[in-house]
Structure 1
Amino acid sequence: MDKFTKITGVAAPLPLINVDTDMIIPKQFLKTIKRSGLGVNLFDEMRYDSDGKEIPDFVLNQPAYRAAEILVAGDNFGCGSSREHAPWAIKDFGIRCVIAPSFADIFFNNCFKNGILPIVLPQEQVDILMKDAEKGQNARMTVDLEDQSITTSDGEVFSFEVDPFRKHCLLNGLDDIGLTLEKAAAIDSFENEASAARPWV
């Protein structure tokens, strides 16, 4: 998993509440088990019309936000079904951080497991960040996980909370497999001792 330390980039505003996982990645794209290739279908039904042509008004289709690395969203982001394809699609598009007043629990947890930092802030702070994001590609935010801070394009700084264990995992690029591999020596030692003690197993 890619490490997350600090990013400075364009933030895309998505001032919608209750954005569910089917809006993030519709069900017809859930056949794959690969984590790559889903970015093109992120927010598919909002990004494309029935003929597959881009809808110019949608934020991620606008030139200023095509390379967005941060998403500022509304309340209850990631609700609905528990599909892990949702964070896969967000990450594959290039978004590494989602900021919202609240998240659905399963989506929130899945973000950390896929190298995305979900940040919960009070609504009034999200409103300020949303307005900053609406300035376009010249308004670049900085999200610093080590310092647990967000800096707007105007230099205003907001602090955020993050679970220490999850922070450690993101800073070091550790998913569940990576965490297990950190204990590889202890696992090998246990297996060797177990084999010696019970060779018939």
Structure 2
Amino acid sequence: MDKFTCIAAIACPLPTENIDTDQILPARYLKLPRKGEHGKVLFYDLRFDAEANERPEFPLNRPHWREAKIIVAGRNFGGGSSREAAVYALLDFGIRCVIAPSFGDIFAQNATKNGLLTAALGETETNALMSMLEREPASIVTADLVSQSIACGGQQFQFAIDPSRRDRLLNGWDDFDVTRSFRKEIADFRSADRKRRPWAVPHARGAGGMAS
């Protein structure tokens, strides 16, 4: 997984609360293979009408936000089901960071495991940021995980993130990497346990089949 430290990019405001994982990735697309194609169906029923025509009013369809790499949304972004493919859709579309007052917890876990930053900003600050983006759509938003700050238009806000998730993103760690980060503690435990319970340690068998 790629490390996440800082991103400066166009940000798209989605001034809606409770955007759930079924809106992010409709259930009928859950069988798509993991080949980097989930971005095509991101927010599909919000982005397109029944005839597969773009809905011009949807923010990500507007010219100045088509290349956005950051989304600023209302509270409880990513609530609903636990589908990890919702994160795939955001990443495949090019989104690397979502800023919102709160997130569905399972969604936030899945995001961290795939290198997507979920930055929890206060509701007042989030609304202020969305207002700035509505006034100046070309504004660049900087999301800095090292300093846990969001900067735009001369203003800076501090965001919250679980410390363990922050460490994972900064180091680019998956679950195996997290376990390996405790290799010294694991080795120390095994060494101490061998001394404390030598009878529990399996021994190699000799040529005659007897334990040596």
Question: In structure 1, what is the Cα distance between the partners aligned to 2:116 and 2:18?
Answer: 19
One-letter amino acid of the structure 2 residue matched with residue 149 of structure 1: S
SS at match of 1:109: helix
Aligned partner of 1:5 in structure 2 is 5
Aligned partner of 2:175 in structure 1 is 176
Question: In structure 2, what is the Cα distance between the partners aligned to 1:195 and 1:27?
Answer: 49
SS at match of 1:134: helix
Aligned partner of 1:164 in structure 2 is 163
Question: In structure 1, what is the Cα distance between the partners aligned to 2:60 and 2:204?
Answer: 59
Q: Which runs of 5+ in 1 are unaligned?
A: none
Query: Which of these two proteins has the greater Rg computed from alpha carbons?
Result: 2
Aligned partner of 2:138 in structure 1 is 138
Aligned partner of 2:79 in structure 1 is 79
Question: In structure 1, what is the Cα distance between the partners aligned to 2:130 and 2:112?
Answer: 22
Aligned partner of 1:197 in structure 2 is 203
Q: Which runs of 5+ in 2 are unaligned?
A: 195-199
SS at match of 1:95: coil
Please tell me whether the aligned partners of residues 72 and 133 of structure 1 are also in contact (alpha carbons under 8 angstroms). no
Aligned partner of 2:197 in structure 1 is none
One-letter amino acid of the structure 2 residue matched with residue 155 of structure 1: G
Question: In structure 1, what is the Cα distance between the partners aligned to 2:169 and 2:128?
Answer: 26
- Tell me the TM-score normalised to structure 2 length: 0.83
> 1:198 offset after TM fit, Å?
5.0
One-letter amino acid of the structure 2 residue matched with residue 51 of structure 1: E
Root-mean-square deviation (CA, aligned residues, Å) is 2.4
Which deviations, in whole Å up to 9, do the C-alpha atoms of 1:51-83 show, x marking residues without a partner?
Answer: 112111111111111111110001111111111
Please tell me whether the aligned partners of residues 64 and 136 of structure 1 are also in contact (alpha carbons under 8 angstroms). no
Question: In structure 2, what is the Cα distance between the partners aligned to 1:116 and 1:78?
Answer: 12
Percent identity for Structure 1 against Structure 2: 46
Please tell me whether the aligned partners of residues 65 and 136 of structure 1 are also in contact (alpha carbons under 8 angstroms). no
Please tell me whether the aligned partners of residues 10 and 140 of structure 1 are also in contact (alpha carbons under 8 angstroms). yes
Label 1:130 to 1:137 Cα distance change in 2 as closer, same or farther (>3 A): closer
In the TM superposition, what are the counterparts of 1:43-82 in structure 2 within 5 Å?
Answer: 43-82=43-82
Please tell me whether the aligned partners of residues 122 and 159 of structure 2 are also in contact (alpha carbons under 8 angstroms). no
Aligned partner of 1:17 in structure 2 is 17
Question: In structure 1, what is the Cα distance between the partners aligned to 2:90 and 2:44?
Answer: 12
